Chains A and B, each alone.
Chain A
């Protein structure tokens, strides 16, 4: 019996050896299709949410409080709290106050599914702000779609977070389709580099962005010498970097989050062939934590960020409230606080437009009407600019900013579509 299993194991191994290795240059496969039909707890959502006097309007929040980017996740959560505080200080809606139900989406698809099921099973949840990461949002998406709960993500940038089939999917952040294109354009035309390598962390977000960057680079006429994946949570990238270094690229683009980005920036300096190569990463790595972790290796590296069209006056008011409540500057933790604040404001604005008071003094919110109201948001003044949702659910304003690190600080070097 034992030997039989040994033979089975061997055949499996043989099959593995015989399979051809994937070519490093395969063009972008279709980015992660949202997983269909994860059997959710059959949700008991009715067509309307009825809130009795004294009860609150409950908005769910899926924030990446653990996982690879806990600091930006915390920032997004705190900004959402500020938005809720502000709404309540202004009296809520007809005396009904808002409540933020914060859950940890952990920046992962698995945990996004867990959070999604939790919200779907809770018939008092009206709408959701989140998720923080794209993979997490892919977990939320099919569940909230079935449960008819609209969501607005402040920071999930993968192009497929919103699509024509999903009427509950919306976001304030800008799509990576823009960011990857702008990044490639910056590298090719502004830095004048032709030979680059792309790396990603195998997250939906990082891999998707790296593929967009690679394709854009090739379309511009540049050469992509390597396309290498690592894992979120890895700490030793030397083997992958040595392989990339053999191709002598002039720049490495990394699609992923700050912890891994900082380690790659450091370990590049210790890899033959990459000592003088430049390093560029993305909005997932554009954090103070990157600067601290990478230290001296951060100098001269580039970061892009899907920035809002910052409204100075609103931003100042927001920052004052944030500092007063949490005792820290919002930018200390992460970049997406403006988008987070706006996602709550956008949801509240849509609720205000559809909520009605019935004869017994209850606040009644029709779910389908709310989904349509979120999508029909137009000209809403937010911190990140004037928010107008298009037919796909892209509600963000602004463009892509590119920063370099100088003396331990981010300094903007370019801005596109601002």
Chain B
């Protein structure tokens, strides 16, 4: 039976390759088009990565899917929006470039703080009381938390989308031939790489990171070794939420809009990315996210189908991965345990 699955897999790949080649010849898009779409995909992937890491970290430690994570990102986006309004009110965005950069950095920091606050509150209120419960219970609690966050924001801030104001410094972009690169896209890509590197260093090199990995491997043994498991879990939520908060603000600057449900779809995509790379695996989440971003941007044009079906391509990839490599591209590393 196994060989039949393999064979069919090869057939699927060949068919896809044939389709891509046929469409490529028929449509004849210029090279600049593919470069633009690749850049779009990398930016999208950078944002997905920031969110996907939160899923992966929490799964690695608690073996639980934190479905409210996308909404934690949205909270960050809103906090960033209000911080930005404050800087505008004080007039920082009209000042010199230095002030503008400072204001932007502070906006990201504010978004991170907002998300962290939401993340640790969720952990304390919605997840910790259920730690010993069967695995389905915290999952349901997470879905409830997601709806709670969305509709609280809807109730407090209303349904009208809030528009981020981009300072002139990051408005627009530069042109190289027929390729246009928006500044916000570059910022997203660089900031997400820097934050991912920082996360990697924290997890691999710091004392708390070592404690995290120990808890991921075995909670009770780690506790016996004198590790404060609760503290490590809170720290994990702080890390994941901070990354999501940064993602929320960056996405706000990139797409200039934030509303009560703007975390839902990116959250779902980031979850897909985490599974794609191997949930629980930090480099896996990064690779999965970049890959998903690229597939979404390039897929519809390469396969010659309308872009409105980009989500179908993304989720078909998820199905394929679950069939051929259920543990994801890089496997589940942070924790050896299986779902």
**A interface residue numbers (CB < 8 A to B):** 3, 6-7, 9-11, 13-14, 16-18, 21-22, 24, 65-67, 70-71, 202, 228-231, 233, 235-236, 238-240, 242-243, 245-246, 259, 262-263, 266, 269-273, 275, 289, 292-293, 295-296
User: In the bound complex, what is the Cα–Cα distance between A10 and B323 (angstroms)?
Assistant: 9
A296 surroundings in chain B (CB, below 8 A):
171
**Interface residue stretch chosen among B36-44, B56-64, B85-93, B280-288:** B36-44
Whether, in the assembled complex, B224 has its beta carbon less than 8 Å from a beta carbon of chain A, the answer is no
In the complex, whether B223 has a CB less than 8 A from a CB of chain A is: no
Question: Are B178 and A272 interface neighbours, CB within 8 A?
Answer: yes
B172 CB within 8 Å of chain A: yes
Given contacts A202-B308, A228-B306, A259-B257, is CB(A10)–CB(B159) below 8 Å? no
- What distance in Å separates the Cβ of B178 from its nearest Cβ neighbour in chain A? 5
A22-B306, A236-B254, A240-B308 are known contacts; what are 8 more A-B pairs with Cβ within 8 Å? A22-B305, A71-B160, A202-B308, A239-B296, A239-B310, A242-B36, A245-B33, A292-B163
Q: Which residue of A lies closest to B184 (CB)?
A: A270
Q: Does B304 contact A (CB under 8 A)?
A: yes
Residue from A11, A70, A270 within 8 A of B160 (CB atoms): A70
Q: Is the CB of A263 within 8 A of B257?
A: yes
Interface-located stretch among B2-10, B102-110, B194-202: B2-10
In whole angstroms, what is the CA distance A414 to B296 when docked?
40
Residue with the highest number of chain B CB atoms closer than 10 Å, among A13, A22, A263: A13
- Quick check: is B12 within 8 A (CB to CB) of the other chain? yes
Partner of A272, one of B179, B297, B303: B179
Contact B15 A3 (CB under 8 A): no
Would you call B255 and A263 a contact (CB within 8 A)? yes
> Could you give 28 example pairs across A and B, Cβ below 8 Å?
A3-B2, A6-B323, A7-B5, A13-B12, A13-B319, A14-B11, A21-B304, A66-B154, A70-B160, A71-B160, A229-B307, A230-B307, A233-B261, A235-B262, A239-B37, A239-B41, A239-B296, A239-B301, A239-B307, A243-B33, A243-B307, A246-B33, A259-B257, A262-B163, A269-B172, A289-B160, A293-B257, A295-B163
Quick check: is B256 within 8 A (CB to CB) of the other chain? yes
B15 near A14 with CB under 8 A, answer yes
For B8, give its contact among A10, A202, A273 (CB under 8 Å).
Answer: A10
Residue of A9, A235, A259, A289 near B323 (CB, 8 A) is A9
Q: Which residues of B contact A (CB under 8 A)?
A: 1-2, 4-5, 8-9, 11-12, 15-16, 19, 23, 29-30, 32-33, 36-37, 40-41, 44, 154, 158-161, 163, 165, 171-173, 175, 178-180, 182, 251, 254-257, 259, 261-262, 265, 296-297, 300-301, 303-308, 310, 316, 319-320, 323
Shortest Cβ gap from B261 to chain A (Å): 7
Q: Find chain B residues with CB under 8 A from A22 CB.
A: 305-306
Given contacts A235-B257, A239-B37, A263-B255, contact A230 B160 (CB under 8 A): no
Chain A residues whose C-beta falls within 8 Å of the C-beta of B33 in the assembled complex: 242-243, 245-246, 272
A293, B173: Cβ atoms closer than 8 Å: no
User: A10-B323, A266-B256 are contacts. A66–B159 as well, Cβ < 8 Å?
Assistant: yes
Chain B residues near A259: list those with CB within 8 A.
161, 257, 259
Q: Are A235 and B255 in contact (CB under 8 A)?
A: yes
Complex alpha-carbon distance, A272 and B177, angstroms: 9
The CB with the most chain B CB atoms within 10 A, among A6, A16, A271, A295, is that of A6
**Nearest 9 pairs of A and B residues by beta carbon:** A229-B308, A240-B307, A70-B159, A235-B255, A293-B163, A10-B8, A3-B1, A270-B182, A272-B180
Most chain B C-beta atoms within 10 Å of own C-beta, residue among A10, A70, A231 = A10
For B305, list chain A residues within 8 Å (CB). Answer: 21-22
The answer to whether A10 and B15 touch across the interface, beta carbons within 8 angstroms, is no
CA A22 to CA B303, docked complex, whole Å:
11
List the B residue with the shortest CB-CB distance to A3.
Answer: B1
Given A13-B320, A17-B12, A238-B40, A293 contacting B5 (CB threshold 8 A): no
| Interface pair B161/A239, CB less than 8 Å apart | no
Contact of B308 among A65, A228, A262, A292 (CB under 8 A): A228
Give the complex CA separation of A228 and B305 in angstroms: 10
